[in-house]
Amino acid sequence: TATLFLEATQQDIRQSKTPESVPSTSKSTAQTAQTRDEPKYKWRIVWRNVIAFLYLHIGALYGFYLFFAGAKFLTLIWTLVVAALGAVGVTAGAHRLWAHRAYKAKWPMRLILMIFQTLAFQNHLSEWVRDHRVHHKFTDTDADPHNAKRGFFFSHMGWLLVRKHRDVIEKGATVDVSDLESDPIVVWQRRLYVILMPVFCFLIPTWVPCHFWGETGMNSWYCATVFRYTLSLNLTWLVNSAAHIWGTKPYDDSISPTDNVRIALGAFGEGWHNYHHVFPWDYKAAELGNYRANFTTAFIDFFAWLGQAYDLKTVPLNMIKKRAARTGDGTRIDRDEHYGH
Ligand code: ST9
Ligand code: ZN
């Protein structure tokens, strides 16, 4: 399914080279859609993605039902473990390490994180990081791949169902991602992605329950693979949708990202999104080093203790306080004496 999905997507993209807002008669790519007398958007739906995501979501509901209708308890545990590994691959790996360079990691840690990020199947690191840096640089504009100004659904998953806005591609070209080329782990993941991704996201998670505790193939596929993948996608997407709509803005009231404790709990500490957009280089992606609502920070600290993670970047408390006083919405709570910095 995964390979078909990937091939289908690539084929679809090859068939049509025009970004969603560009009319085929357009002569000047430098002009923006807004300056011309034409509709702002021409949605070009990628039907194969629509079908794949429909299958995943219906299958995930069935997988959820199977947990109560015959799936083994060990399969549930395995599902949660694989989901957690994938989450850490995205948060500690793709996000805090590769996209923001908020800390450095030795190659064994980078290899582990790359494998975890591959099993999360959220595109290879080069693509994930490029989209994410473009999201930070052009937040809340048409050049933001999951522009929250286009509504909950678009920023959640709609952006993966249509071709990208022309501004994403044009302005995105100004974002530097050359550092990724000097990391062989990133380069090799991209080269081997079409093999690695199906193996780590679909084959191994399905095979382990069947082989080690005699789970049925159906239960294993729908619970440990389809349900787990769909759940982790939705938890990730909530950072782009819900954490740009609901919550507080203690550090900058003028941007859409919010601090939202529920999202922080579900997304392994990535819900302190107002803070993160103001200080994206902080390896905690939050003001406080509180592990309860920031499992990713605990993970990075543990690897720092092992000597694998180093140069962990943080933000001086006085800088945070000054910024919150200047641009925040007044909801920041001063808890530095409890947690330390
Ligand atoms: C997925 C990603 O789900 C989720 C990311 C979420 C990020 C969240 C961040 C929040 C923090 C982290 C929180 C983690 C919490 C985790 C908790 C977990 C419990 N700049 O893309 P193409 C150019 S993926 C510059 O094909 P189309 C470029 O030349 C899900 N240039 O655009 C490119 O060619 P190449 C699984 C750019 O054709 C060319 O355009 N995967 C940029 O419009 C074509 O690019 C899928 O579903 C840019 N940003 O197609 C696959 N972008 O690449 C979905 C593009 O050769 N993707 N260019 O350089 C697709 O099918 C297609 O990308 C598309 C757009 C249809 C969406
Ligand atoms: Zn970020």
Write out the chain's pLDDT in tens, 341 residues. Answer: 344 344 434 434 333 444 554 433 333 444 444 445 455 567 899 999 999 999 999 999 999 999 999 999 999 999 999 999 999 999 999 999 999 999 999 999 999 999 999 999 999 999 999 999 999 999 999 999 999 999 999 999 999 999 999 999 999 999 999 999 999 999 999 999 999 999 999 999 999 999 999 999 999 999 999 999 999 999 999 999 999 999 999 999 999 999 999 999 999 999 999 999 999 999 999 998 788 889 999 999 999 999 999 999 999 999 999 999 999 999 998 875 444 44
Which ligand ends up closest to the CA of 239?
A: 1
Q: Which residue has the least CA distance to atom 49 on ligand 1? A: 131
Quick one: tokens of 49?
């993605």
ipTM above 0.90, yes or no: yes
For residues 277 and 244, the answer to whether their CB atoms sit within 8 Å is: no
Single-letter residue type at 214? G
Q: Is the CB of 171 under 6 A from ligand 1?
A: no
Please state at what angle helix 228-240 crosses helix 47-67, rounded to 10 degrees: 120
Q: 203: closest CA among 273, 118, 139, 133?
A: 118
From CA 192, how far away is CA 258, in angstroms rounded?
36
Q: Which residue has the least CA distance to atom 56 on ligand 1? A: 127
Q: What is the DSSP letter of 308?
A: S
Quick one: tokens of 57?
């979501």
Q: What pLDDT is stored for residue 152 in this prediction?
A: 97
- C-alpha gyration radius of the chain: 21
Q: Is the CB of 240 under 6 A from ligand 1?
A: yes
Q: Is the CB of 172 under 6 A from ligand 1?
A: yes
Domain map of the chain by residue range?
1-14+43-240, 246-341
- Residue 271: which residues within 8 A CB-CB, separation 6 or more? 239, 243, 247, 259, 260, 261, 262, 263, 264, 265, 293
Quick one: tokens of 34?
């807004």
pTM above the 0.95 mark? no
Q: Is the CB of 270 under 6 A from ligand 1?
A: yes
- Indicate which atom in ligand 1 lies nearest the CA of residue 83: 19
Quick one: tokens of 171?
């302005």
Q: Is the CB of 120 under 6 A from ligand 1?
A: no
From CA 107, how far away is CA 291, in angstroms rounded?
25
Pocket test for ligand 1, best of 41, 91, 156, 169 (most atoms within 8 A of CB): 169
| Helix count and strand count (H, E) for the chain | 16, 2
Which ligand ends up closest to the CA of 190?
A: 1
Which ligand ends up closest to the CA of 136?
A: 2
Q: Which residue has the least CA distance to atom 61 on ligand 1? A: 9
Q: What is the DSSP letter of 328?
A: S
Direct distance between the N- and C-terminal alpha carbons of the chain, in angstroms, rounded to an integer: 46
Q: Vertex 98, ends 304 and 287: CA angle to 5°?
A: 60
Q: Is the CB of 134 under 6 A from ligand 1?
A: yes
DSSP letter string over 43-63?
--B-HHHHHHHHHHHHHHHHH
- Residue 18: which residues within 8 A CB-CB, separation 6 or more? 24, 44, 163
Pocket test for ligand 1, best of 160, 202, 227, 228 (most atoms within 8 A of CB): 160
From CA 192, how far away is CA 48, in angstroms rounded?
23
For residues 107 and 185, the answer to whether their CB atoms sit within 8 Å is: yes
Q: Is the CB of 258 under 6 A from ligand 1?
A: no
Q: Is the CB of 121 under 6 A from ligand 1?
A: yes
For residues 310 and 104, the answer to whether their CB atoms sit within 8 Å is: yes
Which ligand ends up closest to the CA of 21?
A: 1
Q: 306: closest CA among 112, 65, 17?
A: 112
Q: How far is CA 334 from the centre of its chain?
A: 29
Other residues' Cβ atoms within 10 Å of the Cβ of residue 229: 25
